[in-house]
Amino acid sequence: MNQPTLMAAGLTKTQAQIYEYLLNNKEARANKITRDLKISRGTVYYTLDELVGLKLAEKIDEPNQISRFRAEHPAVLQKIFEDKEKSLIKEKSALSENLPDLISAFNLTNNKPGIKFYEGEGGIWRVLEDTLVSKSEILTIADVEAVDKYLRELNKKYVNERNKLGIKKRLIAVDSPYAREHFAKANDLTDVKLMKTAINPFSTSIHIYDNKIAYITMTETYLAGMIINDPHIYSMQKSLFEQIWEKN
């Protein structure tokens, strides 16, 4: 019995039954398969069409004759198995991409802080997108030079989307000739203050909004973002932001 092997390659139980039957019979009509395997006629025809589509069976049509079916070479199973492996890799990638959201939902339901972590430019865009559903103004502290250096186009896209949605932002950045020039074009939706305190470039931005904190790290070799959904951490960070804001 080769059915377990055939099913491991990706065939359904019925597909495996009928394909194995065809392997053991040079060719057969659907009605004979129905009688011998005791499978309904409709299921047999449907499965035979599937096997033909998978190139595991050939349908033989001749004038004034009932269609017959015969098995194709089993080597085709190798390609089916390889396609199954590729599909699993894609599904695993999709799971990995969405797992932070699932974990966050679980944590929030169980009264635990929700944390989502993303990598790469695409991941950072997901973090920024989350701020675009903010029901309140966004409070941001950012290393402007790092943003321009590593995320210039992405940031342009983000600013355009935020402006379209009319979401206000207060932003704090380190005072420098570069920052002054950069924010000279800020619009009414963005209120900027520049810190006089000299600090080392930190290659990071923090976004405070809707009981959430988003951190983004930007370097030549590493791009990553994190969203923390916790009202207590949000409250603390918002308070710290307001203190810095008032002192500048």
**22 and 123 fall within a common domain:** no
54 in Cβ contact with 76 (< 8 Å): yes
Residues 70, 118, single domain; the answer is no
Q: How far apart are CA 8 and CA 13, in angstroms?
A: 10
Query: Is 66 or 106 the better-scoring residue by pLDDT?
Result: 66
User: Is residue 96's pLDDT more than 80?
Assistant: no
Question: Across residues 66-90, what is the average pLDDT?
Answer: 85
Query: In sequence order, which ranges of 29-75 are alpha helices (DSSP H)?
Result: 30-37, 41-53
**Domain count of the chain?**
2
Query: Is 232 found in the same domain as 119?
Result: yes
Give the SS3 label for residue 24: helix
Judged against a pLDDT cut of 60, whether residue 100 lies above it is answered with yes
DSSP output for 178-241: HHHHHGGG--TTEEEEEE-S------EEEEEETTEEEEEEE-SS-EEEEEEE-HHHHHHHHHHH
For 54, the token pair is 């998978």
Radius of gyration of the chain measured on its C-alpha atoms: 30
pLDDT score at 104:
62
Shared domain for 55 and 117, answered yes or no, is no
pLDDT tens for each residue of 26-36: 889 999 999 99
For residue 79, give both structure tokens.
């390609």
**47 shares its domain with 154:** no
Average pLDDT (4-28) is 89
Q: Tell me what pLDDT residue 113 has.
A: 60
Instruction: Report the predicted TM-score, pTM, of the whole model to 2 decimal places.
Output: 0.57
- Whether 97 is in a domain gets the answer no
Domain carrying residue 237: 111-247
Has residue 85 been placed in a domain?
Answer: no
pLDDT score, position 125: 93
Q: What is the pLDDT of residue 217?
A: 94
| 154-187: pLDDT as tens digits | 999 999 999 999 999 999 988 888 888 888 877 7
Q: Choose one of 28, 51, 76: the last residue of a domain.
A: 76
Confidence of residue 201 (pLDDT cuts 50, 70, 90): low
Position 70 in a domain: yes
Residue where a domain terminates, one of 20, 50, 76? 76
Q: Do the Cβ atoms of 69 and 28 come closer than 8 Å?
A: yes
Alpha-carbon distance values, 160 to 45, 92, 245 (Å): 55, 33, 25
Tell me whether residue 226 is in a domain: yes
Q: Residue 145 sits in a domain of what CATH number?
A: 3.30.870.10
Distance CA(137)–CA(132), nearest Å, equals 10
Residues 118 and 237 in one domain: yes
Q: Do 117 and 100 touch, CB atoms closer than 8 A?
A: yes
Residue 60 falls inside a structural domain = yes
User: In terms of domains, do 52 and 170 share one?
Assistant: no
| pLDDT higher than 80, residue 141 | yes
CATH label of the domain that carries residue 8:
1.10.10.10
